[in-house]
Amino acid sequence: MYISSISLKNFRAFDSTEREICFNPGLTLLVGENDSGKSAVIDALKIVLGTTDLGWYRIKESDFHNEDISKEIEISCKFMDLSDAESSGLLEYLTYEKNKEGKQYPVLYLKWSCKYLQTMKPPRPIIHTATGLNGDGPSLSPEAKELLRVTHLKALRDAYSDMQSGRNSRLSQVVQNLPNLNVGNDEYETGNDPKELSLIGIFNLSNQLLTDYEPLKNASSQMSTILQEQMLLEGDNIITNFAVSGVNTSDVRKTSTLLEKLDLTINKEETDIKGLPGLGTSNIMSMACELLLKKNTNDISQFLLIEEPESHIHAQRQLKLIKSLQQEAETANQQIIMTTHSPLLASVVKLDNIVIIKNSRPYSLAKKHTKLDEDDYIFLEKYLDATKANLFFARSVMIVEGPGEALLIPTLSRLLKRDFTDYGVSLVDVRSTGLRRYSKIFQRNTSESSEWLDINVACVTDRDVMPDCAPKICIKDIQSDDIKKWPSKEKRQWIAESDFKGKRQIVSTFSQ
C-alpha cells in the first residue's frame, strides 16, 4: 500500500482550487523555492494520517488560506496497491475502482475537513474525517488508523535528543517494536543464566535485587528501630521496608520503563569520534533508527516523511544518504516522501521521482506528465548533475551550449543591471547539444495553458550558419565568393546564409 495522492483545498498557501499532488510508490522528492508549499504538503499528511510518535497538531487560523476561517479546509488522501492483509484490515472502508482492462481493485480514500464553528464564542475548529470517494463512508477505527500513521523527521530538528533516554523517548518507541524482544524467562530461578531472561524477567530481577540489597535492608531496619524506640507510643508496632514502585504494572509498561533508560551513542573506543556526535551524524543516526523499525515490520506498509535531509550533512554523506534511501524505497515495503533545497540531492534522485512545487501548484516530472521521451529521461539522469540541478529551484532558466556563453551572458546581465542572481535566473551550461532535452523538463503534457509551469525557459545556441563570405576564408577547398561555384549542399558538411534564402531572413555581422 502506498499514498498515491493528496488533494488540498484552502490549506495555507493552497487556495480554493483543489490541487492534487501525486506520489510514487517508492521515493518522491518535492523541490521548489521557499514558501512554495512543500512543507504544507508534508504537514497535511501528518495532520490527516497521524504520526508514529503520537504527536498532536492543533489547527490554527494560520492554517486556513489567507487566514479566512469562513472557508473550509479540505484534504483527501488516496491509497493504492493494498496487500491482501491490508485489504482485509480495511475492508469496510474500501472503494473499488476499475483499471484499463475493466478489472476491479481496492483503493482507500480518506477525507479530512476542518471549519470554524462561528456560532461559538470564541469560534473553534470542528474536524470531520470519513472514508470513501465522496466522503460518505465510516470514520476509521483506532486500529485502522494505526496502519496509516506516518513517521515524520522534521528539518533542523535536534536529532541527538531523539536518541536519548527519557519518558516516551523516540528511541524506546522504536526498540519496543523489535521482534523477539521478550523471548525468555519472565522469572529468575537460582542457578539459571540471567542472559536467558526476557525484558520482563530483567525488570522483575532488578526489582528483586534492589529490594534485597543489604545496605537498603539495614537502613529499613534502622528506621524501624527509630520509630519503635523514639517516635511511637508503647504498644505501637510498625515495621518498615523499601519496596520498588511499579511491580504490579502491566508487562507493556515494565518493558517500556526499561527501554526508556536507553541512549543510542557512539562507541568511542572503535570509532574516530571521541566526543558527542555532531548534528549531521545525529541526523543520520536518527534516520537509521527509523529504518530499523521498518525492517522489522515488513508485512506492514511504512510511510516516512523527511524534511530537508541535507541539514547539517556534508556533500559526500548527502549522496550516500539519498542513494541509500532511494534503494530502500525501491526494494522494501517503504514509501518515502522528502522535501529538499539541495541541488545535489535533486541531481541524484531519478527524474521520474521529482515533483516541482511552484506557487503552491504541483508539477510532477513523471513520464505521463511531461513531454520528455523515454530516451530523454535516460540522457538527463546521466548528465543532470548538481551544477545543473539548480534549475529545479529557479524562477527562470537559460540553457546555453558551452562555457563561452556561461561566462559572457551573466556578465552582460550585470552590465544591464539585470543580474541573474538578483532575479533568480539559473544558467545551465550543457556543454554540448541536448538543450531541448533540458527545456522539455518544464513542458507539460497538456494543451491547457492554465496547467503550464510558470517558469520562463530560454535556449541560447551557437549560430552554426556562416555568412556567404565565410567559406572563402574558412573552408580550404573554396577559393571563391561565387555561390554558383560551391559544391551542392548534399556534398558539403556546412551551410551558409544563401542556403536559407526565401525561407527566413538572417541578419548577421562578420569580422575577420
Report pLDDT digits (tens) over 438-448: 999 999 998 88
Average pLDDT over residues 134-162: 85
| Position 173 in a domain | yes
User: Do 47 and 160 belong to one domain?
Assistant: yes
Buried b (16+ CB within 10 A) or exposed e, 174-202: bbbeeeeebebbbebeeeeeeeebbbbbb
Name the grid cell of 8: 488540498
**pLDDT above 50 for 510:** no
Can you give the pLDDT at residue 160?
Answer: 64
Three-state SS string across 365-429, please?
A: CCHHHECCCHHHHHHHHHHCCCCCHHHHHCCEEEEECCHHHHHHHHHHHHHCCCCCCCCCEEEEE
CA atoms of 163 and 289, how far apart (whole Å): 8
**pLDDT above 70 for 206:** yes
Can you give the pLDDT at residue 28?
Answer: 96
Q: Which of 210, 245, 262 is the last residue of a domain?
A: 262
Average pLDDT over residues 380-407: 92
Q: Could you tell me if residue 308 is left (phi over 0), alpha (psi between -120 and 50 degrees) or otherwise beta?
A: left
Can you give the pLDDT at residue 378?
Answer: 93
CA atoms of 137 and 91, how far apart (whole Å): 12
Q: Which of 326, 358, 390 is the last residue of a domain?
A: 358
Can you give the pLDDT at residue 371?
Answer: 93
Higher pLDDT, 204 or 75: 75
Q: In DSSP terms, which residues pair with 104 in a beta bridge?
A: 98
Q: 300 pLDDT band (50/70/90 cuts)?
A: low
| Position 220 in a domain | yes
Residue 206: exposed, middle, or buried by beta-carbon count in 10 A (0-12, 13-18, 19+)?
middle
Can you give the pLDDT at residue 57?
Answer: 85
Report the percent of the chain where pLDDT is more than 70. 93
Name the grid cell of 354: 521529482
User: How many C-beta atoms surround the C-beta of residue 407 within 10 A?
Assistant: 12
Q: Residue 49's closest CA among 302, 285, 241?
A: 302
The 3-state DSSP class for residue 201 equals helix
Find cell 546581465 and name the residue. Answer: 413
User: Do 8 and 136 belong to one domain?
Assistant: yes
Query: In Å, how far are 28, 196, 364, 444, 457 from 371, measured between CA atoms?
Result: 19, 62, 12, 6, 15
Structural domains in the chain (count): 3
42-56, 115-129, 496-510: segment of lowest average pLDDT: 496-510
386 and 61 Cβ atoms separated by less than 8 Å: no
CA atoms of 26 and 328, how far apart (whole Å): 8
Q: Under 8 Å CB-to-CB from 134, ≥6 apart: which residues?
A: none
CA 395 from chain centre, in angstroms, equals 23
| Position 479 in a domain | no
Can you give the pLDDT at residue 297?
Answer: 60
The CA dihedral of 207, 212, 218, 222, to the nearest 10 degrees, is: 60
The 3-state DSSP class for residue 311 equals coil
**pLDDT above 60 for 505:** no
| Position 174 in a domain | yes
506 and 497 Cβ atoms separated by less than 8 Å: yes
Q: Residue 27's closest CA among 309, 255, 305, 377?
A: 305
| Position 41 in a domain | yes
Average pLDDT over residues 151-157: 79
Q: Within 13 Å of residue 245, how many CA atoms lie on the same side as its CB?
A: 1
Report pLDDT digits (tens) over 212-255: 899 988 998 998 888 888 888 888 888 888 888 776 788 888 88
User: Do 97 and 236 belong to one domain?
Assistant: no
Phi and psi, residue 95, nearest 5°: -120, 145
| Position 482 in a domain | no
Average pLDDT over residues 465-491: 80
Q: Which of 262, 297, 318 is the last residue of a domain?
A: 262
Most confident of 158-167, 301-310, 497-506: 301-310
User: Do 11 and 60 belong to one domain?
Assistant: yes
Q: Share the mean pLDDT of the chain.
A: 86
CA atoms of 360 and 357, how far apart (whole Å): 6
Q: In which domain, by residue range, is 305 found?
A: 2-164+268-358
User: Do 46 and 113 belong to one domain?
Assistant: yes
User: Do 83 and 33 belong to one domain?
Assistant: yes
For residue 38, what is the domain's CATH number?
3.40.50.300
Average pLDDT over residues 270-278: 69
User: Do 336 and 377 belong to one domain?
Assistant: no
User: Do 135 and 196 belong to one domain?
Assistant: no
| Position 317 in a domain | yes
Residue 369: exposed, middle, or buried by beta-carbon count in 10 A (0-12, 13-18, 19+)?
middle
**pLDDT above 80 for 34:** yes
Average pLDDT over residues 451-455: 91
289 and 176 Cβ atoms separated by less than 8 Å: no
User: Do 26 and 157 belong to one domain?
Assistant: yes
User: Do 40 and 83 belong to one domain?
Assistant: yes
102 and 36 Cβ atoms separated by less than 8 Å: no
User: Do 34 and 135 belong to one domain?
Assistant: yes
| Position 490 in a domain | no
User: Do 191 and 212 belong to one domain?
Assistant: yes
**pLDDT above 60 for 511:** no
Average pLDDT over residues 467-477: 80
The model scores a pTM over 0.75: yes
Average pLDDT over residues 392-414: 93
In this structure, the strands spanning 2-9 and 19-22 are antiparallel
Most confident of 364-373, 462-471, 472-481: 364-373
Instruction: Give 466-481 as a DSSP string.
Output: B-TTHHHHH-TT---S
Report the percent of the chain where pLDDT is more than 90. 44
